[in-house]
Structure 1
């Protein structure tokens, strides 16, 4: 088995991050390694996603787990390999959350293939996660501004 994990902390809330995850068509807004993406149903367990990295063939993903505002797991199979990516949000204290991505590569030949393919797949995670949390924070700021404007208009 091969694993890699990366975490970032943010002032965004879990629902703001979840909303970005659940809006699959917008993933390219914060993940530059996606040229095209399609989802064949709701953002829920059992739904399939087709994700195309720039210049590559589509990668079929399956949502294997999904708990709103907490986590989702996608899986991709390549021959005897299973690439499982966990996306999780945890409280980090003092109005912050921790966003964690963890990849696990298991199956036939994972000990050899994991170190060969894993680092290339996960190399962009720090940038991707920074962009994700910036968008989540911005969405909250925009939402707060809209709420303030609505309060002012109601007065």
Structure 2
């Protein structure tokens, strides 16, 4: 499964980036996240976080790529499925910022998971993008 959403935000890229990488604050931005616990300090290459979402088991996410002020990617593994989440902030064409969030699920059980949880997953990523926009534009 692949899902991607792009949102234009009327806020400076630095503002948006600082909100995006502050994963412990995500529950303030969206009802799709109950709690985030950093396990290895701030978001950076190799850092891990435990993410609690409504109706889903807690998952450990490990940052696999990180470029300050631009993007980070993290992965969560469970039996038969690897989930990869991408978070990218770019200067917007007309000022402000453009954010692209992606979610990919691969592995032998990914098609089954997409059938069972695909609509919830897409809804949660959309909620996260919308929440980031709302908080960034009100900062």
State TM-score, norm by structure 1.
0.80
SS in 2 for 1:123: helix
Partners of 2:6 and 2:91 lie apart in 1 by 12
Name the structure with the higher helix share: 1
- Residue pairs, 1:28-47, within 5 angstroms: 28-40=27-39, 41-47=41-47
Which residue number corresponds to residue 104 of structure 2?
Answer: 104
**In structure 2, C-alpha distance between the alignment counterparts of 1:49 and 1:23, rounded to whole Å:** 11
**Paired residues of 2:60 and 2:76 also in contact (CA < 8 A):** yes
Equivalent residue for 2:3? 4
- Any residues of structure 2 matched to 1:1-155 within 5 Å, and which? 2-40=1-39, 41-54=41-54, 56-139=56-139
SS for the counterpart of 2:73 is strand
* Separation in 1, partners of 2:50, 2:62: 9
The answer as to whether partners of 1:17 and 1:69 remain within 8 angstroms in 2 is no
Deviation at 1:58, TM superposition (A): 1.6
Which runs of no fewer than 5 residues in structure 2 stay unpaired? none
TM (normalized to structure 2)?
A: 0.88
Can you list the C-alpha shifts for 1:53-105, whole angstroms capped at 9, x where unaligned?
23543211111111112111121111121100111112331213211111111
Larger Rg: 1
Q: Is the 8 A contact 2:6 2:98 kept in 1?
A: yes
Q: CA RMSD in A?
A: 1.7
| Count, aligned residues | 138
Tell me, in whole angstroms, the C-alpha distance in 1 between the residues paired with 2:24 and 2:110: 30
Equivalent residues of 2:12, 2:91 under 8 A apart: no
User: How far apart are 1:24 and its partner, in Å?
Assistant: 2.1
